[in-house]
């Protein structure tokens, strides 16, 4: 079997896409067919399957769930980097954060921030660096929770070791303060790593989402674009329950919570538009 001759029929693709959607909420339409095919081919080759129908049966009947997780991992690797969408981060640090601190968080209890769909950890560690800069010298407590459906990227994130391309937007003062260069790579210092907790969460798993409570801010940027309208609404409602009253949610620049579920208040700050419970 070779890649050039491999293809999935329209019916087979629809069945696979539906199966993935029902288990993860991630929706792949016909435009993503080539993308999905390539990764399915790699998994078929790794598991020794010549025909798609045999692999699909194996995928569904694997009681351990390991093969489905490996396929999901292959489908959900996304490129990210530190200090991405800087204007939003500036809004978080200089405009939203002071409002959150007025409610007593940081001193009476830790400020809690959630990076949902954290991928390899750049966003979560960026938030930790910002909070260390803004809060640590004043004795405020905080914690950053970082989740993803892909267990391989979570393992990579926990290592805290990054290539040059991931740190290309890190201000030089922070690069020197919070990273150690080692053989062409950049290792985060323990002061940052100890502030972030990584664990696996499926945003469409209601039992898991019910455990995600008491957050002051949620970052879910460029994640909901992979869901359909129904799944987006379900996740939005879960996020609403996860936030404390007055808590904020940050989406990607191209995303609008108002079009998903009009339950959040739109806040137009100087540096960004964000949403508040």
* CATH code where residue 220 lies: 3.40.50.150
Mean pLDDT for all residues in the chain: 91
* DSSP character at residue 26: B
Where does the pLDDT of residue 76 fall: very low under 50, low under 70, confident under 90, or very high at 90 and above? confident
Q: Is 230 a catalytic residue?
A: no
Out of 24, 43, 75, pick the residue that ends a domain.
75
Residue 81 in domain: no
Co-location of 62 and 94 in the same domain: no
* Residue 27 belongs to domain with CATH number: 1.10.155
Where does the pLDDT of residue 103 fall: very low under 50, low under 70, confident under 90, or very high at 90 and above? low
Co-location of 236 and 102 in the same domain: yes
Residue 184 in domain: yes
Co-location of 90 and 157 in the same domain: yes
Bridge partners (DSSP) of residue 150 are: none
Co-location of 258 and 130 in the same domain: yes
Return all residues near 79 (Cβ < 8 A) that are at least 6 apart.
none
How high is the pLDDT of residue 255? Answer: 87
Percent of the chain scored above 90 by pLDDT?
68
Tell me which of 70, 148, 216, 232 is the catalytic residue: 148
Co-location of 116 and 221 in the same domain: yes
Bridge partners (DSSP) of residue 268 are: 273
- Stretch 18-36: mean pLDDT, rounded? 88
Residue 105 in domain: yes
How high is the pLDDT of residue 57? Answer: 94
Cα–Cα distance measured from residue 75 to residue 154, given in angstroms and rounded to the nearest whole number: 15
- Stretch 60-76: mean pLDDT, rounded? 90
Where does the pLDDT of residue 104 fall: very low under 50, low under 70, confident under 90, or very high at 90 and above? low
Tell me which of 15, 33, 39, 84 is the catalytic residue: 39
Tell me which residue range forms the domain holding 156.
86-276
Rg (CA), the chain: 20
> pTM for the whole thing?
0.86
The tally of domains found in the chain comes to: 2
Q: Is 148 a catalytic residue?
A: yes
Co-location of 133 and 32 in the same domain: no
Burial class (CB in 10 A: 0-12, 13-18, 19+), 95: middle
Query: Of the segments 39-43, 166-170, 271-275, which one has the largest average pLDDT value?
Result: 166-170
Out of 52, 75, 98, pick the residue that ends a domain.
75
pLDDT in tens, 111-166: 999 999 999 999 999 999 999 999 865 667 899 999 999 999 999 999 999 999 99
């Amino acid at each position: 079997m070779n890649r050039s001759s491999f293809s999935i029929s329209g019916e087979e693709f629809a069945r696979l896409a539906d199966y993935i959607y029902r288990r993860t909420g991630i929706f792949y339409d016909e435009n993503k067919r080539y993308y999905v095919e390539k990764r399915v081919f790699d998994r078929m080759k790794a598991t020794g399957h010549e025909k798609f129908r045999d692999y699909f049966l194996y995928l569904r009947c694997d009681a351990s769930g390991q093969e489905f997780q490996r396929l999901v991992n292959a489908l959900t690797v996304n490129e990210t980097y530190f200090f991405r969408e800087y204007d939003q981060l500036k809004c978080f640090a200089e405009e939203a954060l002071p409002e959150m601190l007025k409610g007593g968080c940081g001193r009476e209890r830790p400020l809690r921030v959630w990076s949902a769909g954290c991928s390899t950890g750049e966003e979560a560690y960026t938030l930790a660096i910002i909070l260390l800069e803004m809060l640590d010298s004043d004795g405020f407590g905080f914690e950053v929770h970082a989740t993803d459906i892909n267990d391989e990227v979570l393992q990579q994130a926990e290592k805290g070791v990054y290539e040059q391309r991931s740190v290309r937007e890190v201000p030089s003062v922070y690069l020197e303060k919070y990273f150690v260069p080692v053989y062409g790579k950049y290792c985060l210092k323990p002061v940052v790593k100890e502030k972030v907790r990584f664990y696996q969460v499926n945003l469409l798993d209601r039992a898991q989402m019910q455990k995600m409570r008491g957050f002051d801010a949620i970052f879910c940027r460029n994640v909901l674009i992979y869901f359909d309208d129904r799944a987006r609404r379900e996740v939005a409602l879960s996020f609403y329950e996860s936030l404390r009253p007055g808590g904020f949610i940050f989406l990607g620049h191209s995303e609008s919570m108002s079009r998903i579920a009009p339950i959040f208040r739109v806040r137009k700050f100087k540096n960004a538009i964000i949403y508040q419970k």
